Amino acid sequence: MGVTLLKDLLYCSLCGKKMTTQKSNNGNMYTLKKCEYLNEKGKKCGNAGIKLEYVEKHVILHLQTFKEEIMEAIKALDEKKFATNDKDCIHRLNRIENKIKEVKDEKKNLIDLAVAGIFTHKEVREKKQELEDLLLYLQREHKNLKDEINDKKAKTSDAQICGVLSKMSLSNIKDHSDLLNETLKLVIKKIYYSRKMPTDVSNKSTRNPERRNYPFQLVIEYY
């Protein structure tokens, strides 16, 4: 079964269990299956299924309607996450800078040690080379870490997510469902689906207009 737009996101609002989808034999259509979870009393949940495309369209239209609000929320969350990561990087950067200063001071002290006769000239040369190698390594680490911090500032994930959401439309669901699904999972925690029909409606034929067009409700839970 391929990746659909809402894969692993749909949950039954009546019992809380994850909803499942079924692909048609010809592979052209997916159906959100009826929830048949058995409760403690042995009674089936009974949340009615529906064509998956109806639910996908509802979600897409919701995202398009509230696109700006959603993007602002994503940006705020990403800035908070970046602040935490940035704090860790700066702490590591400070440690490296302190170590670089220690190595430079140790190099300067080699002259005093040589004059005092504590080290031979050969030992001083070897120690100096050792410290220079360590200094080069620390300076490379320092540069890499600064580049990492700057790169995070230039390429935050909110820009990538917002870019995908801004291009999301009803026409490109099938062609890019895997990418759109991964993007939605960064924004949406769960989508609760409800379509509980009265007995007199559910007992009617699936071809009956009242049953076929019976409405469903969605509640989207964001991170």
Q: What is the DSSP string of the chain?
A: ----TTTTTEEETTT-PBP-EEE-TTSS-EEEPPB--B-TTS-B--B--EEHHHHHHHHHHHHHHTHHHHHHHHHHHHHHHHHHHHHHHHHHHHHHHHHHHHHHHHHHHHHHHHHTTSS-HHHHHHHHHHHHHHHHHHHHHHHHHHHHHHHHHHS-HHHHHHHHHHH--GGGTTTTHHHHHHHHHHHEEEEEEE----HHHHTS-TT-HHHHT---EEEEEE-
Split into its structural domains, the chain has a count of: 2
Does residue 152 share a domain with residue 114? yes
Percent of the chain at pLDDT exceeding 70: 81
Per-residue pLDDT at 165 exceeds 70: no
Q: Which domain holds residue 121?
A: 70-158
Does residue 53 share a domain with residue 26? yes
- Segment 27-36 mean pLDDT: 90
Does residue 82 share a domain with residue 55? no
Does residue 101 share a domain with residue 79? yes
pLDDT in tens, 48-93: 999 999 999 999 888 888 777 777 766 666 665 555 556 777 788 8
Per-residue pLDDT at 120 exceeds 60: yes
* Of the residues 158, 181, 206, the one at which a domain ends: 158
pTM of the model: 0.62
Across 97-106, 150-159, 167-176, the highest mean pLDDT is recorded for 97-106
Does residue 112 share a domain with residue 87? yes
Question: Higher confidence at residue 98 or residue 87?
Answer: 98
pLDDT of residue 158: 56
Does residue 57 share a domain with residue 25? yes
